[in-house]
Amino acid sequence: MAATLFDTAKGTVEFSYEGTGPTILLLKGGHCSRDTDLSHRSLMYEGFSLLTISRPGYDLTDVSAGRTATDFAETIVDILDHLHIEKVSVIAISSAGPTGIALAASYPDRVEKLVMEAAVTAPWEFGTKMRANLLFGRGEKATWGTIKLLLKVCPDMVMKKILASLTTEEADDLYSRLSLNDRRFIYNMLADSQSGHGFLLDIKHDLADMSKIQAPILGMYARKDKSVPYSQAILLKSNTQNCEIYDAPADSHLIWIGPEAPNVWAKRLEFLSH
């Protein structure tokens, strides 16, 4: 997709804006690059415009554009003003959860609806932060270089290893049940991944006051998600006034694949369309 660079008061932000119709703001999750597509581009064929903004540290968006979720929410509003967009529906994926929350809580007049897809609603655990600093700090490029090399040489092994961190099931058993399309989804997701400086920012994000969110919320979470536990769905529900939790019929953090994935797609589309 064609990327646009916009100079804000805090730094450069990369975004793309495509399609016609009501605008959906897509905030991708951790390790996602401009090339990562978890199926959301299909929303353009359903009558929506898709505004995809790369979060700080990812792609060509400067870290200074928002070191905290609240700071970047302010930068997002600057972009909406620049594009003359009055209101958006927001999709926040995985570690983009705090940014989606901050935007909806701080700027209720700019957010029509909020979709939280396996999205973080609680602080990261200490052990996760330690591992992230080790793998995605100074050694980030080497980490992803190794993963992508191994992905070409022994893709099954790499994808099973990644799945083990995303599911409460036994990874080998789950992998054996995946369709060829689902395996291709995981392969492409990993091939397009790059953390930059973004993921180390993600794990430090504080959570804004969720009770201030006025927009209707759809939280889509899988009970077998190992990386974002279902308890975070309960936390979202218990701290907001107008929130529906949809139990995504998925076997891992990757709620966009599996035999029941069309139901996840249909639920999102129903929520955004009405």
At 131-141, the pLDDT tens digits run: 999 999 999 99
pLDDT digits (tens, 9 = 90+) for 103-125: 999 999 999 999 999 999 999 99
Residue range of the domain that includes 38:
4-125+197-273
Residue 166 lies in a domain: no
Residue 65 lies in a domain: yes
Residue 161 lies in a domain: no
| Percent of the residues in the chain that have a pLDDT greater than 90, as a whole number | 99
> What mean pLDDT comes out for the span 10-34?
97
pLDDT digits (tens, 9 = 90+) for 217-259: 999 999 999 999 999 999 999 999 999 999 999 999 999 999 9
The domain tally of the chain equals 1
- Are 99 and 205 within 8 A, CB to CB? yes
Residue 137 lies in a domain: no
CATH code assigned at 101: 3.40.50.1820
Residue 160 lies in a domain: no
Measure CA 168 to chain center. 20
Residue 163 lies in a domain: no
pLDDT band for position 2 (50/70/90)? Answer: confident
Residue 54 lies in a domain: yes
Looking at residue 1, its pLDDT comes to 59
